[in-house]
Each structure stands twice: as C-alpha cells, then as structure tokens.
Chains A and B, each alone.
Chain A
Amino acid sequence: MYGGGNTFEGIKTDHLKQEDPILLAAFEARIERGEKIEPADWMPDLYRKQLIRMIEQHAHSEIIGALPEGTWITRAPGFKRKLALMAKVQDEVGHAQLLYSAAETLGKSREQMIDDLITGKSKYSNIFNYPTFTWADCCFISWLVDAGAIVNQLANAKGSYGPYCRALERICAEESFHLKYGHHCVIYLAAGTQKQRDMFQEAINRWWAPMMHFFGPADKISAHTEVLMKWKVKMSTNDDTRNQFLDMYVPKIWELGFTIPDSNLKKNTETNRWEYTEPDWEEFKKVINGDGPCNKERLEVRRIAEERGKWVREALLTKAMKYVMPLA
C-alpha cells in the first residue's frame, strides 16, 4: 500500500546538465513513445535515484503496512475473516518482496534498504503511524486505505520503468481481493448491530484526517516535480489522486449511512472537484518526521524482527553465495 506525496521533496535538476545530451534525448524519446525502460538501459542519475527512492518507500510501506492489520489476525471474528486477513497481510509482505526486487534492479541491495528503514533513513507511508484500536479500524484500513493505495498503484502501473510496472501489475491483481474483502467487512458492520455500526463510525472519525493526508501535501505546497512527470515516474498530482479517491469512495461511505467528520466535504458540481476542509499539513509533517502515535513502535517491531532473525540468516549464509541484482 502506498500513499506517496512525501517522496519528491527538493529535487535538484542541475546535474541533469552533466548528463550526455544525446543519451538523455534518446532516453526521453523512448519514454515519450510509451516504451518501458529496462534495467540494462542507460538512464540519467536523477531518474535512477528518484525511482529507487519511490519504489523503496513503496516497499517499506507494504512491510510496515502489514502491522496495523496484522495485529487483528489472531482476533479476527470467524473463519472467513480469519483466513482472509491472514492472506491479505501475507500479500502485503509479498508485495514488499516484489517491490524490493524491482528497486534492486536499479542498484540498491535489499539488505541496504531494510537497514535504512530501521535506522530511520528511509520513509514509508504516513498512515501506518496510527494505531488500529478496534476491529473496525482494521476494516477501515482494509477497505479505504487499500482503496487509496490502489488509486496510486493503478496510476503508477502506467509508468516508465519496466520492473516496477511488472511488480505493480501483479500487486494490482492481488489487491482486487483486498478491496472487495475490505468493503465486504464494512458492509457487514454497517448492516449489523448498533454496536457494530458505532464501532465503524468511531473508526471513520479517527481515521479521516490521516486518510486525507494519505495522498500527500496539497499541490500548491508540494515540491516541483515536472521532470518526474515528464519521465513518467510520478504519474499524477497529489490533489488529483485525492480527488479521484473521494469521487469513488465518499458516495460509498455515505450510502452505508455513515457520516464523515468534515462538514465542508462536498462535490462542486460546477468544477467537478471535491471541496473539503484543508487538512492540517503541519500535523502531517510532524508525524512523518517521527512524532506520531506509532512511529517508534513500527520501527522497533522491524528492528526486533531483524534481530531475532539474525541467527537464522547467519546460519544460512555460506561462502558460495554471492549477492547479484535480479535480472528483471
């Protein structure tokens, strides 16, 4: 699951001038023709670096994203939910594996990426820095956070880098089950007892603000990313994806009789865009830089998992082994 937004701060395009102009022109022409860039192709340094950063953050978001839902696996109510949640969270770990692999084709090893996650060097989607208090919070993530991620992923699947696109195709195919499962859970809560309805309404009240942050800061305060859009690394603006999400899912939430804690939320029928209270971008900055309810815990869990697994990995390493980049 990937939120985006925070990735593209402060891009310096000056070293583009140092790249071979002929190679750069051929590279850009290829992208414009709609051809995919493959690992063995020449690519400008900036493209490589930004892609590594973006794919790596996506991968970290998946592995961290496994935690707020993972906590409900042992408590899922009934066989259907238990099995589904086990499979869904497993998929998130699987997506992390696919994405690390794609990023590795650009020259950074998986171990280095995981190390950067634990030491705090690399970021992940901010929404996972919040706790899932109840089963309904878990359902909110399974439905709406996944829905948001899918909006991003479908856009990125049309990007220029071959390995990332292949990974996203596979991910999108698996996500269709996640989305349907999430909606199914929420329908049952909505159609259930008053306690169940209240549980989900309270979850919406807690999660709406983080959900609005999910797509990243408003375009007007975001970094300039024109070159990344030209290179089909960034496929859509933050506001566009946010608007798309609202368009698809606010009606579905209202249909179930739930309220959304934003009295300004409505669709402007003239502009065809959704209007809403401007999210608190200072809060977003605070949390993404480490001061959220679960940041410490999320990284601590990853750190402990790596520590516990150390003896296993050491026992498996042999001299005959050599790390090489995946081919595609």
Chain B
Amino acid sequence: MSNLALKELLYKIADDQLILGHRNSEWTGFGPLLEEDIAFSSMAQDKVGHSQAMYTILHQLGEQVPDTLAFMRPANQFHNCILVELPNGEYDFSLIRHFLFDTSEAIRFEMLSQSSYQPLAELSRKIRGELRYHTLHANTWIKQLGSATEESISRLQKSLNEALPYALGIFEESPFEKKIIEAGIFEGEKELQKRWVKKVEEIIQQTNLSLPDLKITIPVFGGRTGKHSEHLQPLVDEMSEVFRIDPGAEW
C-alpha cells in the first residue's frame, strides 16, 4: 500500500485541525461572553492538540518532527481546505464554520474508528469525547441563535450562504481516494459528505435558517492540492514569526 496515499490523508486532516485551531484561538480574550470565550478556547486547544497527534503519526512514518511540519512549511505545502484559513469575521461566521467543520470532523473520526490503520483507529477512539463536546456546543449555539432575533437569524443565514461553498471544499477528493478506500483506511470523502449533509440538514431544520440548495452550490476546491486563498500565507507567517527567528533554537 502506498504510504503516499496514507500520508496525504494524514496531512490534510492535520492541517485542517491546526489551521482551524489557530484561527479559533484568535478569539481568546475577545469573545462575546466570558464563559463562551473559555469554551471556544478549549475547543481551539483540542484542535491544535489533535493536529500535534496527527503530525506525530506522520513523523513515525518518516516525516519531519511536528514542530517543523507546523512551523516551517510555506503556505503552498499545506493541505487544509480553504474554509479553515478564512478570517474569523464576526462571531456568526466563526460559529457557522465551527458547526459545518466540526460536524464533518466528528463523522470523519467516527468512520476512522473502523480504520485498518491502527494509529488512526486508536486516535479516533481517544478523541471521541472531545469531538462530542464540539458538536454538542455547535449544535446548541446554532439552534439557539438560528431561532432567536431577526439579526441573529439574518447574520447566521448570510454566513451559512458564504461558508457553504467553502465547506464543500472539505470533501475535495484525493488522487488516492480509491487506494485509501480499498485498503480499508477510510471510507472516502463521498461517503463522508453524504453523512455530513444529513446531519447538517437535521440541525438546520430545527432553526429558522435554510440550507442553500447543495445541488447548485459550487464547491471551492484547491486547498487539498496547495492552491490556497490569499489568507493562508499571512496566517502561516504570523504563526511562525517567532519560530523562524532561529529555527534551530529551542524555545
């Protein structure tokens, strides 16, 4: 089995987690409610922690150490979907992204619990509880704000409309899609997307929001092959600002 296919899968998952965790950490100290500020920060730490676990698996497969992978690659070598690199916007966009992404992440890891690749199956079992919290949190907030005031509903709807094409970019298929599925490592993006749509619809139906017609929504692809928006390079520059002062140094 081509290690390349497995590594590609690991990289894209890890990069999604790192970049989204990094984005969400920007809210620490700036949140709309004290208690929510704390909760959002916990979830950001979880994401960054997950990415570190994934990069550790990659390191065991022969890639560089996690710090190097996270802090020394240029933007065009990252495999995250474009959704996660977009700026935070206001809390409505961040919450919608949190809802759309974490719904897919929870399903992805549920599927990975059956993976033939042991380290992934183990990691999936381990972080189940954390992902459970992420989706519980997201669903509660979306249901709450998605049925509250005119302003909260219209803000969330606008963000949902804007985020959806990017969210579909999560499921951009890999050139190794068939290999991954045949080797039993992962059931594939198509299957993931199918389950994701069902879950998202289920929650949206409990609000005053409406899900745009996915059949006519054009996905924004490119992230998985290193073709990013103008937002990733500045993010990567900022993230590695101190590290790059002296990459050989111990901080």
| A→B interface (CB under 8 Å) | 63, 66-67, 70, 72-79, 81-83, 86-87, 89-90, 92-94, 96-97, 100, 135, 185, 188-189, 191-193, 195-196, 301, 304-305, 308-309, 311-316
Contacts and interface: CB of A to CB of B under 8 A. Distances in A.
A312 B152 contact: yes
A315 B151 contact: yes
Interface stretch (B30-38, B131-139, B217-225): B30-38
A72 B246 CA distance: 17
Given A74-B22, A74-B26, A83-B48, A316 B246 contact: no
Contacts of A89: 28-29, 41
Interface string B60-73: 00000011001100
B81 interface: no
Given A83-B45, A97-B34, A135-B242, 10 more contacts: A79-B52, A79-B67, A87-B45, A89-B29, A97-B35, A192-B251, A193-B246, A309-B31, A315-B151, A315-B152
Contacts of A312: 32-33, 91, 145, 152
A317 to B, nearest CB: 9
A61 to B, nearest CB: 13
A131 to B, nearest CB: 15
A250 B238 CA distance: 34
B148 A315 contact: yes
14 contacts: A72-B242, A74-B26, A74-B238, A78-B243, A83-B49, A93-B31, A195-B245, A196-B249, A196-B251, A305-B29, A305-B31, A312-B91, A312-B152, A313-B32
Contact of B30 (A78, A87, A195, A301): A301
Contacts of B238: 74-75
Contacts of B35: 97
A313 B149 CA distance: 10
Contacts of B243: 77-78
Contacts of B26: 73-74
Contact of A314 (B66, B90, B149): B149
B250 interface: yes
Given A312-B91, A313-B33, A77 B251 contact: yes
Contacts of A76: 242
A75 B242 CA distance: 6
B116 interface: no
Contacts of A305: 29-32
A89 B41 CA distance: 9
B103 interface: no
Interface of B: 22, 25-26, 28-35, 37-38, 41-42, 44-45, 48-49, 52, 66-67, 70-71, 90-91, 144-145, 148-149, 151-152, 155, 238-239, 241-243, 245-246, 249-251
Contact of B66 (A79, A135, A301): A79
B34 A73 contact: no
A289 B145 CA distance: 40
B250 A100 contact: no
Nearest to A310: B32
Interface-central residue, A193, A301, A309, by most chain B CB under 10 Å: A309
Contacts of B45: 83, 86-87, 90
A92 B29 CA distance: 9
Contacts of B22: 74
A18 B150 CA distance: 52
A192 B71 CA distance: 19
Contacts of B239: 74-75
A188 B242 CA distance: 14
Contact of A93 (B37, B44, B246): B37
- Kindly list the 9 A-B residue pairs having the minimum CB-CB distance in the complex, ordered from nearest: A309-B32, A315-B152, A315-B148, A77-B251, A312-B32, A90-B41, A77-B243, A66-B29, A77-B242
A244 B144 CA distance: 50
A72 B66 CA distance: 20
B28 A70 contact: yes
B33 A309 contact: yes
A237 to B, nearest CB: 32
A115 B239 CA distance: 33
Nearest to B42: A90
Contacts of B242: 72, 75-77, 135
A301 B37 CA distance: 15
Contacts of B70: 79
Contact of B28 (A81, A93, A100, A195): A93
Interface-central residue, B29, B38, B155, B245, by most chain A CB under 10 Å: B29
Contact of A90 (B38, B52, B148, B151): B38
A100 B251 CA distance: 35
A82 B26 CA distance: 12
